[in-house]
Amino acid sequence: MASVDQSGFPILSLLLWLPMLGALMVLLIPRANEALVRNFAFAISIIDLALAALLFGMFIPEEAGFQMVEEFEWLPGLGASYHLGVDGISLLLVLLTAFLAPLVILSTYSAVKDRVKGFMFSILLLQVGMLGAFLALDMFLFYVFWELMLIPMYFIIGIWGGERRIYAAVKFFLYTLFGSVLMLAAIIYVYYIHMQQTGTATTSLLGLYNTAFSWDEQVWLFGAFALAFAIKVPMFPFHTWLPDAHVEAPTAGSVILAAVLLKMGTYGFVRFAFPLFPLGAMEYVPIIAVLAVIGIIYGALVAMVQPDIKKLIAYSSVSHLGFVMLGTAALTPMAVSGGLIQMVNHGISTGLLFLLVGVIYERRHTRLISEFGGLAKAQPWYAVCFLVATLASVGLPGTNGFVGEFLVLVGTFNSDALPRIFGCNYAGMVLAGVAGIGVILGAVYMLWMVQRVFFGPLSNKKNQGLKDLSLREAFVMLPMIIVIFVIGLFPNIFLSRVEPSINAFVEDVRERGELAQALSDTDRETQVDTGKKEDGNGN
């Protein structure tokens, strides 16, 4: 993968370190002046968003490799460098992260009344960790940011969370740490092997891509990375930290957790696990694909019977991210880009749903579905926003959700990679077919919830005087709703920038994963009647 450096302007560093500067400056503001703390943090996040927009404008859509690259020696003894860059894949996720920050901060103006300073500090620090993890092109740097995210999130859940916050925070921390430690061990191993082979010590991702591993090594190393990322995604059956973390986290924490942190897992697969160990990846693709499909169905079924709205949405994340992982595993440009779009979609629509749940929680201090009913009468605009988020979540055409799910499913159904890897002609069709049931179930659990919360008589007295969205709340929701339709109606704005990088990714993984050989070894005869598909939708 080549990289281009088209300007000396360090846009990525500015984007990355501005929230850090903001976080430090927040500490200098007197504790009593809460309004200033909030407004300052909000202003920082807005400027950061403007930088991200500038980055989007500077980005060259046709280019597959990394752009705006910045590289400096950092720890020469270790071979670690300060190495940043974006390609189409990280661009979207950086944009998502920067887009959500101001909205999340704005949403906490009334929700977080306690230790505002600490909260804003944590949010901004978290922002640094997330952006850094998406931008880092150095394994060591990536690992630092990856772990950096953990700490503020731990505090956000543990301090500003609900009743069982300590249990949830510790569970979140231990779960993630467990995966991270394995990944760290794998990183160190990769580092040593690379040093043995080339004589130079480096942690640069681009350098490590070229390390040669034996088949055994690949399988073990991919496994270690995959476990770390699968926990983060979370894939079934590593998902049980998620409902607890979501239910206990404050609204802002849930939004960031769902919208961005979970994407670290799926992003990790695409950026690290697959390209570093393509041979190992081929061994795991069947497991990943099957677990993804199980997650889609399982998450949807369990979501259906949840009594708590937030928990319902948490389980729905398991289902939605199953689509992302299925798309990634299908290894066709269409499915992978669908998966990437679905990452952004999930961030937007599920983020919006969590914000909306936060609105009602602030007013009623409960999230139990049975406590509600008929809210559409009391809060018509709130109901409209919720319905839009619901429709995006169930993938109605015209909303973002459709584009992602459609590309994942059509790409998986007609994948030429899955049949070769599974050694069965119908692998892609079966996986996409079963995953498609998730589309039905998605409508079931979401609409059933909407019906019980918003429709029917407004019989619970506590709900009768509920206020509709305030102007500030409307300002939080509106940009997200606009984005839902922009992606839904004009996905090419994003797809065109994603496509070259995705094509390069798919080509690279297939080539070095020796997918063609895998085919010729295992099932040459079963491929006869799908001859057309072999070169069909490869690109």
Partner 1 sequence: MSDQTTNILLWIPLVPLIGAFINGLWGRHFPKPLVSLIGCATVGVSFVLSLIASASVLAGHGEIRMVQDVYSWIAIAGLSISVSFVMDALSVIMSLVVSGVSFVIHIYSIGYMHDDDSYARYFSYLNLFVFSMLILVMADSIPLLFVGWEGVGLCSYLLIGFWFEDPEKASAGKKAFIVNRIGDFGFLLGMFILFGAAETLSFDGLAEAVTAGTITPYIATAACLLLFVGATGKSAQIPLYVWLPDAMAGPTPVSALIHAATMVTAGVYMIARLGFLYSIAPTASAVVALVGGATALFAATIGITQRDIKKVLAYSTVSQLGYMMIGVGVGAYFAGVFHLMTHAFFKACLFLGSGAVIHALSGEQDIMRMGGLRKKLPWTYWTFLVSTIAIAGFPPFSGFFSKDEILWKAMSTASNAGWATGWVHMAAYLMGLIGAAITSFYMFRLVFLTFHGKSRLDPHVHVHHEMPVMSWPLAVLAFLAFIGGWVNASLAGIHGFKHFLDPVTGHAQEAAVTLKHFAHSHSAEWAAAAASVIAGLIGLFLAWQMYIKNPDMPGNVAKSLRGVYRMLFNKYWVDEIYETLVINPIHRFSIFMWKIIDVIIIDGIGVNGPARFMKRLGGIGRALQSGNVQTYAFWLFTGAAGILIYLIYVAEIL
- Give contact residues for partner 1 (rule: CB under 8 A): 171, 174-175, 237, 240-241, 298, 301-302, 304-306, 332-334, 337, 374, 376-377, 391, 396-398, 402-403, 406-407, 409-411, 413-414, 429, 432-433, 436-437, 439-440, 443-444, 447-448, 451, 454-458, 489-492, 495-496, 498-499, 502-503, 532-533, 536-537, 539
Between 220 and 455, name the residue whose CB sits nearer to partner 1. Answer: 455
- Element (DSSP H or E) covering residue 400: helix 400-413
Q: Could you give the CA distance from residue 15 to residue 51 in angstroms, rounded to a whole number?
A: 6
Least spacing, CB of residue 138 vs partner 1, in Å: 30
List Cβ neighbours of 214 (8 Å cut-off, separation of 6 or more): none
Q: In angstroms, what is the minimal distance from the CB of 483 to partner 1? A: 17
* CA 501/CA 503 separation, integer angstroms: 5
CA-to-CA distance for 383 and 376, rounded, in angstroms?
A: 5
Q: Which is nearer to partner 1, 356 or 458 (CB)?
A: 458
Minimum distance from CB of 336 to partner 1 (Å)?
A: 9
Cβ proximity to partner 1, 277 vs 315, nearer residue: 315
Minimum Å gap between C-beta 444 and partner 1 is: 6
**Where are any strands of DSSP class E within 203-290?**
none
CA distances 176 to 259, 265, 498, Å, are 17, 10, 29
CB-nearer residue toward partner 1: 238 or 361: 238
Q: Could you tell me if 347 and 258 are in contact, meaning their C-beta atoms sit under 8 angstroms apart?
A: yes
At closest approach, how far in Å is the CB of 410 from partner 1? Answer: 5
Q: Rounded to an integer, what distance in angstroms lies between the CA atom of residue 223 and that of residue 225?
A: 6
Q: How far is the CB of 405 from partner 1 (least distance, A)?
A: 9
Which lies closer to partner 1 via its Cβ, residue 197 or residue 370?
Answer: 370
Give the shortest CB-140-to-partner 1 separation in angstroms: 30
Q: Do 85 and 49 meet the contact criterion of CB atoms below 8 Å apart?
A: no
Q: Name which of 258 and 331 has its Cβ closer to partner 1.
A: 331
Please report how close the Cβ of residue 159 comes to partner 1 at its closest, in angstroms.
22
Please say which residue, 53 or 305, places its beta carbon nearer to partner 1.
305
β-strand partners of 73: 81
User: Are the CB atoms for 425 and 419 separated by under 8 Å?
Assistant: yes
C-alpha 247/C-alpha 310 separation (Å) is: 6
125 or 403: whose CB is closer to partner 1?
Answer: 403
Question: Which structure tokens are listed for 536?
Answer: 């069909």
| Nearest-approach distance from CB 380 to partner 1, in angstroms | 9
Q: Give min distance, CB of 431 to partner 1, in A.
A: 12
Q: Which amino acid is at 478?
A: L
Instruction: Name which of 43 and 440 has its Cβ closer to partner 1.
Output: 440
Q: Whole-angstrom Cα distance, residue 538 to residue 510?
A: 10
Question: Which one, 524 or 532, has the nearer CB to partner 1?
Answer: 532
SS3 category, 78? coil
Nearer to partner 1, 334 or 355 (CB): 334
Give dist(CA 71, CA 85) in Å, integer.
Answer: 9
User: Please, which residue, 60 or 410, has the CB nearer to partner 1?
Assistant: 410
Residue 234 preceded by cis peptide, ω within 30: yes
Min dist CB 477 to partner 1, Å, is: 15
Shortest distance (Å) from residue 436 CB to partner 1: 5
Q: Which neighbouring-strand residues pair with 397?
A: 399
SS3 content of the chain, % helix, strand, coil (to 5): 75, 5, 20
- Residues linked to residue 72 through DSSP beta bridges, in sequence order: 82
Contact call for residues 74 and 144 (beta carbons, < 8 A): no
Q: Report d(CA 6, CA 16) in Å as an integer.
A: 19
Spatial distance between the Cα atoms of 59 and 536, rounded to a whole number of angstroms:
30
How far is CA 463 from each of CA 356, 358, 453, 457, 458, rounded to the nearest angstrom? 16, 15, 11, 11, 7
473 token code pair: 């709340």
